[in-house]
Chain A
Amino acid sequence: MDSGTASVSAPATWSAASRWLQRSLPKLVLSPTLIVSLVFVYGFILWTGYLSFTPSKGYPIHELVGFLQYVRVWNHPRWQVAIHNLAIFGVLYIALCMVLGLLLAILLDQRIRQEGTLRAIYLYPLALSFIVTGTAWKWMLNPGLGIEKLVQGWGFQNFKFDWIVSEEMAIYCVVMAGVWQATGFVMAMFLAGLRGIDQDLIKAASLDGASLPKIYWRIVIPQLRPVFMGALIILAHLAIKSYELVVALTGGGPGYATELPSTFMYAHTFTRNQLGMGAASAVMMLLTIVAIMVPYLYSEMRGARQRSH
């Protein structure tokens, strides 16, 4: 840029350089993060994308085989179980978190004594690692020593609760622990939404003789639409990424009954020496998340722009 003015004296060059530095400093400060993001996010996505089109097994093989790995993944019985499980887990996890989160938020919004304490109790699981949550729930769901034994001790000798070792029911244990961990968060979102609603509307409706459930159903909940959307997106995002909880709770078992796309990806990449398949499954996870996030972010940004005009 400044090299055109070559024949100036040394101090002048120096001060020009210093001025250039001052001007470019903001860009220089931002550039490491930009480079990191280009390499470690975009570059790595391309790298994984490339690997998904190669026959790589234990190490990368630089040869293109088209969609072979995707076909292999989709034909794999474990992937089919993973997709089936993701559907069950995703739907129940999102629905239960929303319903319970909304219920808790509405209950807390009734001018409750000790609201802060209760909120803190509903929210603390979010501070825990999924591994800790999984360990705790694994223990409570232990068929011989956990809840089953507790209820049997109350006199219900025939009580059975062995979902965690059952191939059909184990995925519902993952749902339980997942819902336990995330409901508090959804509650916090709804509570914030409830507090933002115009109280005069509610007062007016109750003066008109509308009952409390009716007020919520007709007036309050419809106004929470943006919160529903936000919570839906975040929970869907979390469901697709879910990994640790399954590892700690069931290890993907019994057999591979609680396999999820994330555990499939990990197993094929790191223990089964199928880099190509691992990469293909990772790409599909990314595409699913992009398919959810992009329309949402687009509508959010459009909404924000409209609001600011």
Chain B
Amino acid sequence: MAQQWDSPQMVKGTRMRWSAVVIYGLLLFFAAIYVLPLVVMLLTSLKPLPEIYSGSIIALPHEWTVKPWIDAWGQTCVGLSCHGIKGYFWNSTKMTVAAVTISTAIGMLNGYVLTKWRFKGADLLFGLILFGCFIPFQIVLIPMATLLGKLGIASSTPGLVLVHVVYGLAFTTLYFRNYYVAFPDELIRAAMIDGAKFFSIFFRILVPNSAPIVVVTVIWQFTNIWNDFLFGASFSTGESAPMTVALNNVVNTSTGEREYNVHMAAAVIAALPTLLVYIVGGRYFVRGLMTGSVKG
């Protein structure tokens, strides 16, 4: 056995180097697998169609082109209308901004009440609200479709905003409640002695100290609402559809030649807002994930 002639230090050194090689090798291997789909999407979206048929999915484009992106944005067919995905992108933008703002604001107030103005039964009510985080949304689809029809906001952005606010409240309430629980009660009590009332305490003391949890909540809500497909597919038709529904329609439009480069450009455009949020606020994204991870 060779080891018998080596000094113990040498053996140890070799072994450690080997383990480092294995560790870094594995980590990089998995990193490559993780990046691959994104790289493939980007490369495919920057190639002319003939190159897609002749080359491999990971080959660099011979002739770089942004035409698929322009087509995806302004010309590709979503179902029967061929005006690109831009309208749907704006639908999603409007829907997401409105629903995130409203659900976050209400969640903030709820968290404030549930921690600083506790009344008898508050915990029970919190549990009652929290249950909304766990339900599979299939259970509410049929009544919701009926209700939106009765209210006259079926297949509209306001309708989807309502849906996302309603089913986002459980999460925003949870986030703010868990954050405000740790906020010192002494500050609130001191303000009360000074005569401050419900809303002035909220706006002067709680709100200015809520920046981290607001960021976490906004990122969480933004990602979930932008990425939602189930509600979008169930409660919207044609022109009122959000981005994810439009993307699925672009990819599955069966008429004409399949323009894979345009499909990939559309997919990257659909992913861009949440990816940007992830890159800018990754730390907060992960924190939100750990608290609100029950949602699918």
Contact = CB atoms under 8 A, between A and B. Distances in A.
Contact of B275 (A124, A135, A240, A275): A124
Contacts of B27: 104, 107-108, 112, 118
Contacts of A238: 296
A98 interface: no
Given A33-B106, A40-B166, A129-B274, A282 B247 contact: no
Interface residues of B, number: 85
A123 B223 CA distance: 14
A1 interface: no
Contacts of A41: 131-132, 135, 140, 170
Interface in A29-49: 29-30, 32-34, 36-38, 40-41, 43-45, 47-48
Contact of B248 (A27, A120, A122, A248): A248
B26 interface: yes
Given A30-B113, A30-B114, A129-B226, A137 B37 contact: yes
A90 interface: no
Interface in B145-179: 146, 166-167, 169-170, 173
Interface string B197-224: 1110000000000000000000000010
A79 interface: no
Contacts of B31: 118, 121-122
Interface stretch (B5-13, B75-83, B286-294): B286-294
Interface in B17-62: 19, 23-24, 26-27, 30-31, 33-38, 40-41, 44, 52-53, 56-58
Contacts, number: 244
B240 interface: no
Given A110-B23, A242-B296, A124 B278 contact: yes
A33 B169 contact: yes
Interface in A238-269: 238, 240-244, 247-248, 251, 262, 265-266, 269
A64 interface: no
A140 B119 contact: no
B40 A139 contact: yes
Interface residues of A, number: 89
B52 A145 contact: yes
B238 interface: no
B282 A37 contact: no
B135 A244 contact: no
Interface string B107-133: 001101110010100000100110110
A286 interface: yes
B64 interface: no
Interface string A138-160: 11100001110110010000000
Q: Chain B CB within 10 Å — which of A40, A104, A279, A289 has the most? A: A40
Contact of B37 (A122, A123, A136): A136
A45 B135 contact: yes
Nearest to A239: B296
B267 to A, nearest CB: 4
A270 B275 CA distance: 32
B270 interface: yes
B264 interface: yes
B56 A34 contact: no
22 contacts: A30-B109, A30-B125, A33-B173, A34-B129, A37-B132, A44-B143, A45-B139, A104-B30, A107-B26, A124-B34, A124-B275, A129-B229, A138-B251, A139-B260, A145-B260, A189-B293, A237-B294, A240-B136, A247-B233, A262-B136, A282-B136, A286-B138
